[in-house]
Amino acid sequence: MAVRERLQSQLSLTVILGLAEFARGALTVSLLAHFVTGPLKAPITVVGWALSSHYFLDTVFRSPAGWLVDRLGPSTVLSVGLALEVVALVGVMHTRHWPWVILWVSVLGIGTASHWPSVVTGTNRLSKRGARAQSMSVIFAAWLLGSGLGPIVINFFLRGFDQTAFAILIGGDALALALTLLVTHPELNPKPVERPHRWWQSLGLLWPYRTLLPGMMIQNMTLGILLPVLEPYVNRVLHLSHGQFAELLAGGGLITVALLWPMGRFTDRLGIRFPLIGGLFMAAGALVGIMVTRHFLALVGLGGVLGLSYAMILPAWNAFLGRMIPTAVEGSLWGLFMTVEGFGMALGPIIGTRLFEWGVWAPFAFSAAVLGMMGIFYWAYPLMPAQRT
């Protein structure tokens, strides 16, 4: 019975994340711009303000969400967050004035801030000591599938002001909310131990991990650097069509999803050192290759190498952090770590666009250099921390 309840809770957390990220991805990537510039006849800058507000609040509220996970449990925090998301989506669907769009999409960001602290903390608590990387790899696969499929599926329902598209997203979040009732394993209940009474007091918990904080931020910053410059680089330098660009993105994403679980299993069996360090060096090399290559087939191969490196880094890095975090303040620390990572992601596009103006190759060279230096750092850093308590 206990094993069944554990599997039920783990599976529910995975599906909840996939459904919630499906709804978020569909709205932010496809539906929002279509709705704002079409039926509302508002300028595209409204979309920019709405998304900036959304991701800013999503980042800022991850720390309080993690603190609440420690006090209330993952299921309760997820329930509140998903309820906020349903309300926000209903609000966007029924609004006729663009300021309300910014407000409701911002509220959605507060709700989505509950996803990662709740799901990662819950998954880490439910995972066996030697299988944390596998469990994390499944969570990341659900996230990639959900956020990737959302924009693709919803495009089939964009016919003017079609409430069917919004209804699908609301239904996805409502189903995820219902699934929180199945997250019932006793291991997820908050423990009666001493912890910070105010969420901002949790900031002091970061001090023992100060040497890792730059790495947390920089890893995500390199992704943020590349995101805004990929399409102009592909169009202006590589002269690829939109279809070829989509094929490259889809191929790299599918390789990542397909390899996440095997690489997580590999990490659990042989340790985190080789996947993490090897993945960083591999990603750096692939970016250098993309910078100098002009042939489509070679780019396809390099996209596959990038997908493999991402599949190596994700489970290894999160299993590494999971080993270090004490169970009593697990939610608080995951929330803080994800806030640091989020600020890196937010800073990246600013740096990336400035580098691109200086030279079209500069964002790739800078990101490759940063990833290579991180590989050297973690090669020298002891990656076998004491087990958490």
The pair of structure tokens assigned to 357 is 């103006």
Output the pLDDT for position 1.
53
Output the pLDDT for position 244.
78
Output the pLDDT for position 202.
56
Tokens 């699934």 found at? 179
Report the chain's terminal Cα–Cα distance, integer Å: 26
Calculate the alpha carbon distances from 361 to 90, 111, 215 in Å.
Answer: 43, 37, 23
Angle, helix 2-25 to helix 115-126, in steps of 10 degrees: 160
Output the pLDDT for position 130.
64
Least Cα distance to 316 among 388, 221, 222, 383 occurs for 383
pLDDT tens-digit profile, the chain (389 residues): 566 777 788 889 999 999 999 999 889 877 888 888 888 888 878 888 888 888 889 988 988 888 888 888 889 999 999 999 999 999 999 999 999 999 999 999 999 999 988 998 888 888 776 667 788 888 888 988 898 888 888 877 876 557 889 999 999 999 999 999 988 877 777 665 555 545 555 556 666 777 777 777 888 888 888 877 877 888 778 887 767 777 777 777 788 888 888 888 888 888 888 899 999 999 999 999 998 888 888 888 898 899 899 889 888 887 787 777 776 666 677 777 878 887 887 788 788 888 888 888 899 999 999 999 999 988 887 765 444 44
Q: Are 50 and 97 in contact (CB under 8 A)?
A: no
| Domains of the chain, earliest start first | 2-191 (1.20.1250.20), 207-380 (1.20.1250.20)
Output the pLDDT for position 235.
76
Q: Are 305 and 285 in contact (CB under 8 A)?
A: yes
- Distance CA(235)–CA(216), nearest Å, equals 31
Q: Are 117 and 62 in contact (CB under 8 A)?
A: yes
DSSP assignment, residue 236?
Answer: I
DSSP assignment, residue 226?
Answer: H
Output the pLDDT for position 24.
93
DSSP assignment, residue 325?
Answer: S
Burial of 290 (0-12, 13-18, 19+ CB in 10 A): buried
Output the pLDDT for position 56.
86
Q: What is the pTM of this model?
A: 0.77
Output the pLDDT for position 387.
45
